[in-house]
Structure 1
């Protein structure tokens, strides 16, 4: 299983360990992934996601999963997140039409 965020596709970065003698050795900075269940208010459905802690803080700041997805551009989202966003937009359009 790859260590990638299910919403923003955040992955590991690479860098250097730097010792006291300034010797550089390569290392990986892993993403802090959390298994969470987020509720979509518009759809009334729960989604089990594996997202980065940084993304979880952003979702809370934006006010929930729906507002996070609607406020994020499509090129930043994963395919799984785009499907949820499409369903939210469709549901909102049906509510407005009725």
Structure 2
């Protein structure tokens, strides 16, 4: 399981741990990922996703998973989330037609 957010694409960063004597050693900065279940109201389904806490806050701010996915860039989303986004778009096209 990779350290990558399904919604925002946040991943581990690399940097230095600097000691008091200024010796630099490599380290990784890991995102704060949580396993959560998000509900799509348009599809009427629940999805288990691994998201950063920052993304979870953004989903809440935008008004739910559906609103977040429709506004998100395709490059940031995981393949699973891209599939859900396509299903949402198809559902909206049918509803508007």
1:12, 1:29 within 8 Å by CA — same for their partners in 2? yes
- TM-score, normalization by structure 1: 0.91
Give the match's secondary structure for 1:75: coil
Structure 2: tracts of 5 or more residues without a match = none
1:74, 1:82 within 8 Å by CA — same for their partners in 2? yes
| Runs of 4+ off more than 4 Å | none
Instruction: Give the aligned partner of residue 20 of structure 2.
Output: 20
Instruction: Give the aligned partner of residue 47 of structure 2.
Output: 47
1:7, 1:80 within 8 Å by CA — same for their partners in 2? no
Give the match's secondary structure for 2:90: helix
Instruction: Give the aligned partner of residue 86 of structure 1.
Output: 86
- Tell me, in whole angstroms, the C-alpha distance in 2 between the residues paired with 1:8 and 1:49: 12
Q: Deviations over 1:19-74 (max 9, x none)?
A: 11111111001121101000101111100111111111111111110110111121
- Tell me, in whole angstroms, the C-alpha distance in 2 between the residues paired with 1:12 and 1:47: 23
How many residue pairs match? The answer is 97
Instruction: Give the aligned partner of residue 3 of structure 1.
Output: 3
